[in-house]
Amino acid sequence: MKSARKSVRRARRSSEPTARSEVIALPADCTLRNIGALRDQLCAVPADVTNITLDLRQLERFDTATLQLVAAFARDQMRRGTNLLTCGNRAVWDEAAELLGLTATLAGRV
Amino acid sequence: MAIDLTQFHDAFFDESFEALDAMESSLLKLDTGSPDAESINTIFRVAHSIKGGAATFGFGEITSFTHSLETLLDELRGKRITISQRICDLLLKSVDVMRAMLGATKGKQPIDAQAVADLQFDIELIIVHRDAGAAAAPSSATAPDDSGAATGAPADHEEPGRLVEWLIELRPGPEFFERGTDPVRIFRELAVLGNLLVTAHLDALPSCQDMHPGRCYLSWSLSLVSDAPEAAIREIFEWVNADCDLTVKASGGALAPRKAAAPVPTVLQPVSAAPPSVIAEAAPPASAAQAANAMDSGSIRVGVEKIDELINTVGELVITHAMLSQISRAVTGPSSEALRTAIQQLERNMRQLQESVMRVRMLPISAVFSRFPRMVRDLGQRLEKQVELKITGETTELDKTVLEKIGDPLVHLVRNCIDHGIEPAAARAAAGKNVVGTIHMNASHRGGSICIEVSDDGGGLDCERILAKARTAGVVGANDNLTREEIQELIFLPGFSTAEITTDVSGRGVGMDVVRRNVSDLGGKIEVHSERGRGSLFLITLPLTLAIVDGLSVAVGDQTYILPMMSTIESLRLGPTQVTTIADGREVFGFRDDYLPIIRLYRFFDVTPRARALHDGLVVVVEGAGRRVGLFVDDLLGQQQVVIKSLETNYGHVAGIAAATILGDGSVALILDVPDLIRGASRREAA
Amino acid sequence: MTRPSTDPTAATQGAVSQVLTFVIGDVTYGIDIPCVQEIRGWTAVTRLPQAPVDILGVLNLRGAIVPVLDLRLKFGSTNVQYTPVTVIVVVSVMSAAGAREFGMVVDGVSDVIDISPQDVKPAPDLGSGASAACIRGLIQVAGRMVVLLDVNLLLGRESTAAGPESDIQAA
């Protein structure tokens, strides 16, 4: 299990939190067999990020395990108050999320 | 589609093609006057399986088409639509369309959407018109059993057309994903059946950091409002692996827990839990086409390479045994007898092993014969000939490779029979024959070979026309006299066809020589026997196996050659008075009412022989290229099985030589190609 | 001595390459090491009918049927002996149909030498002798000349008996 603070850039610690964004691009294959790599990628996001964007444009293959992982991630971020967005919105992603009942979680609502 | 299932595609395609064959078979046998319920069921299951698999892999067009097809078949099996010849033809066309779609998808080519749409439209039209007919209230029961998935639920839940809300609880174990089930695919299938509402339970889901991403922490409650029968819903869960708790119940209905092995006694069939869990534990879901394979639990799929390796090893064993046998003959001393006995026992064991291994690769010829009923029916219609096909011996087994390659020659033979053999109905009637012509295909094992016969009761070969054409082409001299057999053999020459009108089917004249070449490439031979006015018979003889051949070793000078036993008739010693020299130096001898030419092998192969006088050596009568000849050799050395080794891989073709083999002493001996030898010798004599 | 066969054309790509040298008469020849499968002592071969005079026949190489070419005959020697020290060099070449193996009979093998492609001089016009067609070039090594052969051209078209056409010609 990797430490969460792997990022090279360090946030400036000041009394006013500055808005920080991070983009995580999902690779083409995020299925069960590559899920470990994706988890490491997600866990590597520093805790003080305020906006996280999941870039789905390169994504080609994913399965329920992928959505479960992203759901866990989304829930973690929601509890921290981070905004989670997805870009490269793919209909297949949304449809799968709907089928698994995870739409609300992924949108940060549950 | 974004899900990675490509590794399972091949199995899906293979099984779907097989299932379509079964569907076609059933359709051809269907008597539309009194349709057999089991056949319709079979056909329904085929469509359903293919639809399931196609949906799983995201092949949208196939899913959509098979869905319409399945709907029609469901109506048929529920007897809400009556089968007719037209519907039967439509269903046959669907087989073709599905084959094309599967083939296109497999080959990553575009699907012919127009053809699909047209056929789909016709199918939908029939479904729609059912309502206009005497559509009774949906009260009739559907088919009693559905590949083991029927379960105990009150009978009224089987009625299609009634909306029922199904409550489904899926609680997977942690290893659910790793065991190969992907819930999203299952839910997608369910969503096709009706209105699906999914609630996910995340209470067990840890934080991203703490979770093992390959484990399943989610569970689901689903509500499906659908008019599908319960069997359809249960069937979707058929290949879900067993690492979960699953309940499917109709809201307000009885509970029907699935994981229990004990069947729930019901109005309908008791549930058989065995098939689904066997499939689940065996492997990740490979395809949906199980319905057609309900009987198949006793077999496994094996890659051809594994079997080939097995056969190679057995071949090497044959050689090693030959070596041991040879060495043991030279051994003397107290144990030598015991040694020789043991080696003989080894030979018996080896033959058994060999036969068993060979049988692994053997499949019944029905796999090839089965495409002919359809072909004969279609071709007969196209050429306006009335033809009926009789098939016997379809359980005869052949080696897989031979099976794959014998199809084309057989197709050509049958086409020829329909096109040129069977006369038009009027001509047949005038000749006092049954207006419907018959083509008979038969396969049998005869003395270590496989015999395939294709015969027709048509007009037979016109020897005069063939001879005339051969004379015009200069193949036969104007004054040459040929026997009827020799004339009939002429049809195997390249470019030969006496059809007056070249139809687009056969008659382009490229046929029979290619057929012969295909057959001889398989180590076999083909002969024709025909009688004018009565019909023709084509007889194909194939060796039982490709890799090992029974051979007769002969000595010519210091060389050893192997004669395939299949081509050998008899061997004899000729007395000085039995040989006659005719005209241009050719030698012939009398053999069973015939005069056969002699080929002096030492001359053909340019070897210094031990014996030059014919009565000092032996003559082996062999058969090939439609003829018999006597091969003059020094000696017969014995009979043995030899493993065929290719000469062409590293060298090339040698006239009269089929291949090589390795003898017990490690040396190489050449295996003779009798037809090639006979043809070559007559060419040389002619020069 | 056996070596796995790799793509023989790698030798021509500029790096130092290794060459197996052998002697026929008093000429030293060389072929690229990657083609060499094995070196065997002399074993009897089975004659092939209608083969050219330099193709002695075929032998059994661990279960495969491999033709044997007598290079000495091919290059014009007339009086060849087959003694216990005669060797057969088994080589593998790539053809359109895949890898093919054949054996070459030579008087004896010498060393393996390293050569650089830039040291290879083109062969002078040696006329149309059998050897000329398969010569890749010449190189001077330690005072002697080594004739480099292109193995792919050794077992040329005329060495493999063609099919029915040759029948008709012979008839």
- B347: DSSP letter: H
- Element (DSSP H or E) covering residue B448: none
Q: What is the pLDDT of residues B474-515, one digit of tens each?
A: 777 777 777 787 788 888 877 665 554 444 444 443 478 778
Helix-strand-coil percent breakdown of chain C, rounded to 5? 20, 45, 35
Please determine, for the modelled complex, whether the ipTM score is greater than 0.90.
no
Q: Which of B609, B649, B439, B541 is nearest to C64 (CA)?
A: B649
Nearest CB neighbour to C63, from listed B605, B662, B680:
B662
Higher pLDDT, A56 or C160: A56
The pair phi, psi for residue B290, each rounded to 5°, is -85, -25
List, in sequence order, every residue forming a beta bridge with C106; answer none if it has no partner: C87
Q: Which residues contact B544 (CB under 8 A, 6 or more apart)?
A: B358, B399, B445, B448, B449, B450
Looking up tokens 């430490």, which residue turns up?
A3
- pLDDT-based confidence at A87, cuts 50/70/90? confident
Nearest CB neighbour to A76, from listed B191, B208, B213:
B208
The residue type of B424 is P
| pLDDT for residue A67 is more than 90 | yes
List CB contacts (< 8 A) between A76 and chain B.
Answer: 207-209
pLDDT value of residue B313: 85
pLDDT value of residue B218: 95
Looking up tokens 């060797």, which residue turns up?
C87
Q: How many domains does chain C have?
A: 1
List CB contacts (< 8 A) between B211 and chain A.
Answer: 39, 69, 72
| pLDDT for residue B120 is more than 90 | no
| pLDDT for residue C11 is more than 80 | no
Binding-site residues on chain B for chain A (CB distance < 8 A)? 1-4, 177-178, 182-184, 187-188, 191, 196, 198-200, 202, 205-211, 213-214, 216-218, 220
- pLDDT-based confidence at B2, cuts 50/70/90? very low
pLDDT value of residue B539: 92
Residue C1 lies in a domain: no
List CB contacts (< 8 A) between B667 and chain C.
Answer: 44, 46, 60
Q: How far apart are CA B444 and CA B397, in angstroms?
A: 9
- pLDDT-based confidence at B465, cuts 50/70/90? confident
Query: Quick one: average pLDDT of C28-34?
Result: 88
Report CB contact under 8 Å: B652, C160. Answer: yes
- Element (DSSP H or E) covering residue B301: none
- pLDDT-based confidence at B107, cuts 50/70/90? confident
Nearest CB neighbour to B647, from listed C47, C65, C171:
C65
Q: What is the end-to-end Cα distance of chain B in Å, rounded?
A: 68
Which chains pack against B, by 3+ Cβ pairs within 8 A?
A: A, C
Total Cβ atoms within 10 A of residue B612: 13
Total Cβ atoms within 10 A of residue B267: 10
Compare all CA atoms of chain A with the CA of B186 and give the residue at the minimum distance: A99
Q: How far apart are CA B664 and CA B46, in angstroms?
A: 53
pLDDT value of residue B264: 29
A68 interface with B at CB cutoff 8 Å: yes
Asked if residue C147 lies in contact with residue C28, where contact means CB atoms within 8 angstroms, the answer is yes
Q: How far apart are CA B522 and CA B658, in angstroms?
A: 11
Chain length of chain B: 687
Q: Are strands B219-226 and B244-250 parallel, antiparallel or unpaired?
A: unpaired
Q: What is the pLDDT of residues B296-319, one digit of tens each?
A: 456 777 777 788 788 778 888 888
A103 interface with B at CB cutoff 8 Å: no
Q: How far apart are CA B682 and CA B586, in angstroms?
A: 10
Q: How far apart are CA B620 and CA B597, in angstroms?
A: 11
Task: Supply A13's token pair.
Answer: 């610690």
Q: How far apart are CA B399 and CA C59, in angstroms?
A: 29
CA distance to partner chain B, nearest, from residue C83 (Å):
19
Q: What is the pLDDT of residues B44-63, one digit of tens each?
A: 888 888 888 887 777 888 88
Q: What is the pLDDT of residues C54-78, one digit of tens each?
A: 899 999 887 778 999 998 888 877 7
> What are the strands, taking DSSP E only, across chain A?
21-25, 51-55, 83-87
Q: How far apart are CA C164 and CA C171, in angstroms?
A: 11
Asked if residue B675 lies in contact with residue B624, where contact means CB atoms within 8 angstroms, the answer is yes
Q: How far apart are CA B263 and CA B243, in angstroms?
A: 19
Q: Which of A88-97, B143-152, B296-305 has the lowest mean pLDDT?
A: B143-152
Q: What is the pTM of this model?
A: 0.45
Q: How far apart are CA B436 and CA B422, in angstroms?
A: 9
Q: Which CATH architecture has domain B364-543?
A: 2-Layer Sandwich (3.30)
Task: Supply B385's token pair.
Answer: 């000939």
User: Coil, helix or strand for B256?
Assistant: coil
Q: Where residue C54 sits, what CATH number does that domain have? A: 2.40.50.180
CA distance to partner chain B, nearest, from residue C67 (Å):
6
Q: Where residue A35 sits, what CATH number does that domain have? A: 3.30.750.24
List CB contacts (< 8 A) between A72 and chain B.
Answer: 205-208, 211, 217
Report CB contact under 8 Å: B183, A100. Answer: yes
Judge A/B contact: 3 or more CB pairs < 8 A. Answer: yes
Residue A68 lies in a domain: yes
B646 interface with C at CB cutoff 8 Å: yes
- B418: DSSP letter: I
CA distance to partner chain B, nearest, from residue C161 (Å):
6
Residue B206, judged by CB atoms within 10 A of its CB (0-12, 13-18, 19+), counts as middle
pLDDT value of residue B134: 37
Cα dihedral sign, A104-A109-B4-B5: negative
Q: How many domains does chain A have?
A: 1
Q: Which of B540, B530, B457, B454 is nearest to B498 (CA)?
A: B530
Report CB contact under 8 Å: C101, B655. Answer: no
Query: Quick one: average pLDDT of B608-622?
Result: 91
Report CB contact under 8 Å: B666, C60. Answer: yes
Q: What is the pLDDT of residues C110-149, one digit of tens each?
A: 888 888 888 888 877 666 666 667 888 899 888 888 999 9
User: Coil, helix or strand for C152?
Assistant: helix
List CB contacts (< 8 A) between B214 and chain A.
Answer: 32, 35-36, 65
Report CB contact under 8 Å: B4, A31. Answer: yes
Report CB contact under 8 Å: A29, B202. Answer: no
- Across the A:B interface, residue pairs with CB atoms under 8 Å apart total 96
List CB contacts (< 8 A) between B670 and chain C.
Answer: 46, 48-49
Asked if residue B183 lies in contact with residue B199, where contact means CB atoms within 8 angstroms, the answer is no
List, in sequence order, every residue forming a beta bridge with B455; answer none if it has no partner: B440, B537
B669 interface with C at CB cutoff 8 Å: yes
- pLDDT-based confidence at B398, cuts 50/70/90? confident
Q: Which domain holds residue C145?
A: 8-170
Report CB contact under 8 Å: A105, B202. Answer: yes
Report CB contact under 8 Å: B684, C166. Answer: no
Mean pLDDT, all residues of chain B: 79
Q: Which domain holds residue A29?
A: 21-106
List CB contacts (< 8 A) between B673 and chain C.
Answer: none
Task: Supply A17's token pair.
Answer: 């939190």
Q: Which of B132-146, B439-453, B483-497, B605-619 has the lowest mean pLDDT?
A: B132-146
At the top level of CATH, the class of B6-132 is mainly alpha
Mutation to test the C interface, candidates B318, B561, B650, most C Cβ within 10 Å:
B650
Cα dihedral sign, B635-B636-B642-B648: positive
Query: Quick one: average pLDDT of B81-110?
Result: 88
Distance from chain centroid for Cα B390: 18
At the top level of CATH, the class of B548-686 is mainly beta
Q: How far apart are CA B470 and CA B484, in angstroms?
A: 14
The pair phi, psi for residue C109, each rounded to 5°, is -95, 150
Report CB contact under 8 Å: A38, B187. Answer: no
- pLDDT-based confidence at B262, cuts 50/70/90? very low
What ranges do the domains of chain B cover? 6-132, 155-293, 304-360, 364-543, 548-686
Q: Which of B450, B437, B298 is nearest to B379 (CA)?
A: B437
User: Coil, helix or strand for B433?
Assistant: coil
Looking up tokens 């005209």, which residue turns up?
B583
For residue B663, how many C-alpha atoms fall within 13 Å in the half-sphere facing its CB?
Answer: 22
Q: Which of B675, B422, B388, B631 is nearest to B541 (CA)?
A: B675
pLDDT value of residue B499: 52
